[in-house]
Structure 1
């Protein structure tokens, strides 16, 4: 019985993390209405999130009597992975949301498991099974269906540009994921999560300084409220909830549970942003989720 309750707790944590990540696009689109730039918003997100991760690292350090020694090469790899996963990927994602709706962004971004599969085949020579090829086909067919209707929506300018940035964000995030396994084993989940996000903090601020000399203190009050919400509800809490959830249910099951994310975003975008959702987009989303489910289920063991 304790094992069953532990599993359900893990499933609940992953479910909550998926909801938190789904909120991110809603928050970002809301912030853009106040004229805040992409890199400024990303900087504010990290400024508000960083103290939580620094506190976590310090608390863990003082709590543990012995600390596993980490080599210089491991630290360098960690910072490189964080740079790609939480600076490059996050910036591309926010950039794409300038041009497309939050619901379409989430569908496009959810293609990252297919990139994980393809990159693993190229880099690690892992064979793609016939079922996985079928899953790839289903996923990309779903994206095509969901994407096609948006060309009739005149409110979305430069849709190709937005889609390009979001898909590129998914690709870089997939590269981050396949580079993380060995580091998580060496550092532990909580320590790894905190350090990779902090690794993106400095390059983000440097980027912001080159663009606007870190002029991020003169926005309307709602921008800071939304930025704090992104930091807490779509960064800090989901990352730790997902880590704890994976411990309890495994990465395969976590991927399947988290696939509810695009559905959350569609409902939230319709409710809070007034975005129009078409039948084609819902059908496309279903195909994407089926494809991602098959990929995640195949890798569950």
Structure 2
């Protein structure tokens, strides 16, 4: 392998690891913010989006693809922006009020299998045996992780409420993932992400002003710091790192490296949040990751 290509490959792997690290830390920031002050999910998400907005506006204005937007483009952006960045994030933030960060990340990481199911149910795709196996592995892992939280004395109704919110987050993100590919091909990944973030920020602020008083934005300093950290280290930078990694090592390898995310979240929730870790939770994480790896494998084409 030529030195230049090998060096680019190493950089790509490092960027993919950094992206997985950043995305996995989002739940940690949310949990830390909830512990620091009685902030609600709507306000916390509003701060995250506002702090992220300048970076994505800059990305959108400097993106090279300047094709004019059609009415259909705007309709697609509105639907996907609301689903992918607003609804999914809101449901995730709500779920983290009820369940551990480790369980949240495992449930959220089922979105690749949900994307497969969406393709089967609504896009005429067939369900392969390996995909059935991936579904069984992933949801068996969720069951083990759920049992782990239940053994710690968690209330069943509370855990089910939190799990339902986070599963809704995974489902809306899966719908977003299934619909985003053609829009990204037309607009480019940077421009699409920037415009979708603009739509999401608008939806978030409308939600905030419709349900919260303006005084809710007055928060203790730690809440602002966690909101800014979440925007920078768990939103803007991971998206840029992931895009750069995909350019160097391809989407398939980037997705595989991204499976580090749940493991990292479990580790940091144990280290920073003092959430206990059990063999059942680790086994559940292993099953979920095995399911994601299985469903992410490309079907081998005949020679």
TM-score range for the pair, normalised by the shorter chain length: over 0.9
Aligned-partner SS, 1:286: helix
Residues 42-51 or 289-298, more deviating: 289-298
C-alpha contact 2:108 2:166 (8 A) present in aligned 1: yes
C-alpha contact 1:253 1:297 (8 A) present in aligned 2: no
Instruction: Give the 3 Å change call, closer, same or farther, for CA 212–297 of structure 1 in structure 2.
Output: same
**Would you say 1:71 and 2:70 are equivalent positions?**
yes
Instruction: Give the 3 Å change call, closer, same or farther, for CA 41–292 of structure 1 in structure 2.
Output: same
Residues 4-13 or 100-109, more deviating: 4-13
Aligned-partner SS, 2:252: helix
Residues 104-113 or 246-255, more deviating: 246-255
Query: Deviation of residue 254 (structure 1)?
Result: 1.6
Give the match for residue 269 of structure 2.
269
Query: Deviation of residue 50 (structure 1)?
Result: 0.3
Give the match for residue 128 of structure 1.
127
Aligned-partner SS, 1:127: coil
Query: Deviation of residue 247 (structure 1)?
Result: 2.3
1: CA distance, partners of 2:280 / 2:252? 28
- CA deviations on 1:186-235 (whole Å, 9 max, x unpaired) are 11111111111111001101111111133333211100000000000000
- CA deviations on 1:103-131 (whole Å, 9 max, x unpaired) are 11001111111101110112221112111
Give the match for residue 50 of structure 2.
47
C-alpha contact 1:96 1:105 (8 A) present in aligned 2: yes
- CA deviations on 1:146-183 (whole Å, 9 max, x unpaired) are 21122122256701100000011000000000000111
**Would you say 1:4 and 2:6 are equivalent positions?**
yes
2: CA distance, partners of 1:4 / 1:133? 36
- CA deviations on 1:40-90 (whole Å, 9 max, x unpaired) are 000000111101111122233xxx5x7222212112211210110000000
**Would you say 1:166 and 2:161 are equivalent positions?**
no
2: CA distance, partners of 1:149 / 1:69? 51
Give the match for residue 112 of structure 1.
111
Query: Deviation of residue 8 (structure 1)?
Result: 2.7
Instruction: Give the 3 Å change call, closer, same or farther, for CA 71–299 of structure 1 in structure 2.
Output: farther
2: CA distance, partners of 1:142 / 1:155? 18
Instruction: Give the 3 Å change call, closer, same or farther, for CA 147–210 of structure 1 in structure 2.
Output: same
C-alpha contact 1:253 1:300 (8 A) present in aligned 2: no
Query: Deviation of residue 244 (structure 1)?
Result: 1.9
1: CA distance, partners of 2:123 / 2:247? 24
Query: Deviation of residue 299 (structure 1)?
Result: 5.8
Aligned-partner SS, 1:244: helix
1: CA distance, partners of 2:103 / 2:243? 26
Aligned with 1:13 (options 2, 12, 15): 15
Aligned-partner SS, 2:232: helix
C-alpha contact 2:145 2:285 (8 A) present in aligned 1: yes
Give the match for residue 57 of structure 1.
60
Unaligned runs of 5+ in 2: none
C-alpha contact 2:111 2:173 (8 A) present in aligned 1: yes
Aligned-partner SS, 1:215: helix
Residues 147-156 or 36-45, more deviating: 147-156
Give the match for residue 249 of structure 2.
249
Over aligned residue pairs, what C-alpha RMSD do you find?
Answer: 1.6
1: CA distance, partners of 2:9 / 2:67? 29
**Aligned residue pairs, count:** 297
Aligned-partner SS, 2:216: coil
1: CA distance, partners of 2:214 / 2:183? 32
